[in-house]
Amino acid sequence: MARTHAHRKGKSHSIRPVKPDLSFVTMDKDQIIDLIVKFGKEGLSASEIGIRLRDEYGIPLVKPIVGKSISEILEENGIKGEFPEDLSNLLKKALRLQQHLREHPTDRNNIR
């Protein structure tokens, strides 16, 4: 999208550093994998696991440390959802919308 008072386009996204310095992470690969498997068995999705690792354990990114993504680690350990995470989120959203429309049938703005 262009800028308002200029004849050029702006940058609408942030860019991560080329190689993040992860020297402050005190956990090793095996401990991180064990945490991911534990959270996966508790029923958390891959994005929820990443948020929990970031907020509670101070691990900003899993892939540069372990070499695999969270979903790859979960698949290797046999903890895999029935559908991909993005598709299951869409299904949950559709079910919530159907339930809302059953309770509020005159809500015409939410019928899409």
Question: Does residue 99 contact residue 109 with C-beta atoms inside 8 Å?
Answer: no
Q: For residue 100, which phi and psi values (nearest 5 degrees)?
A: -60, -40
Question: Does residue 81 contact residue 87 with C-beta atoms inside 8 Å?
Answer: no
The confidence score (pLDDT) of residue 2 equals: 64
**C-alpha distance from residue 69 to each of 52, 89, 95 (Å):** 15, 19, 29
The confidence score (pLDDT) of residue 54 equals: 93
**The pTM is what?**
0.74
The confidence score (pLDDT) of residue 1 equals: 58
Q: Provide the residue-wise pLDDT of the chain in tens; the chain has 112 residues.
A: 567 777 777 777 777 767 778 888 889 999 999 999 999 999 999 999 999 999 999 999 999 999 999 999 999 999 988 889 999 999 999 999 999 999 998 888 877 6
- For 40-71, the pLDDT digits (tens) are 999 999 999 999 999 999 999 999 999 999 99
The confidence score (pLDDT) of residue 22 equals: 82
SS3 content of the chain, % helix, strand, coil (to 5): 50, 0, 45
* DSSP-assigned letter for residue 67: S
Give the burial string for 37-63 (b: 16+ CB within 10 Å, else e): bebbeeebbbeebbebbeeeeebeebe
DSSP H helical ranges for 12-62: 29-41, 46-57
